[in-house]
Amino acid sequence: MLPTLTGVGRLTADPELRFTQAGKAVASIALAFNSRRLNQQTQQWEDGDTFFVRGTVWERFAENATESLAKGMEVLVTGELRTERWEKDGQKYERPALLIRSIAPNLAYAVAKVSKDAASQQNGQGGQRQTAQQHPQGQQAQQQYRQGPPPQDDPWNTGPSGNEPPF
């Protein structure tokens, strides 16, 4: 079993999207993790060691990540650490790599607007999902909810009297 990395890192470049010969999308995401600490004597922040790793995401995940992330963003990321090996001009090389399972911007430093991508709008059989507006029963239930009065014992009901909830 490969080790799992979960941490806060920063993108050192924009994600790079490319496609395999079979047409599968793959994106490379260059990440840096560092151990910044406050020096108690000088009260100054000091950068410690930095771990650089190239992460990889596939298919829709790759396309979504490329569209959503950019160089300099601080992200929360989880993935499996691996060793990438290759040979070039008779020399063997290796470096750490991360197969990313999830990645998201750190909302402590960014604002994100989340929306479903086009592929997730389809159900498992390739057809469109029916929203409450498209589905007659769902539409009817929404109208009943909006038209009917809220229950009297509902603590969120401010009702015509304007009373606040009891807390």
**Residue labelled with tokens 């009260």:** 43
Closest CA to 100 of 53, 36, 143, 48: 53
Residue-wise pLDDT for 44-64, tens only, equals 888 889 999 999 999 999 999
Residue-wise pLDDT for 119-132, tens only, equals 666 644 444 333 33
Q: What is the set of domains in the chain, with CATH numbers?
A: 4-112 (2.40.50.140), 116-148 (no CATH)
Looking at residue 163, its pLDDT comes to: 52
**C-alpha angle with apex 25: 120 to 13, nearest 5 degrees?**
105
Helix segments in the chain, DSSP class H: 59-68, 136-147
Q: Is the Cβ–Cβ distance between 50 and 70 less than 8 Å?
A: no
Lowest mean pLDDT among 20-24, 72-76, 96-100, 144-148: 144-148
When comparing pLDDT for 40 and 80, which is higher? Answer: 80
Looking at residue 125, its pLDDT comes to: 41
Q: Is the whole model's pTM more than 0.85, yes or no?
A: no
Q: DSSP state, 106? A: -
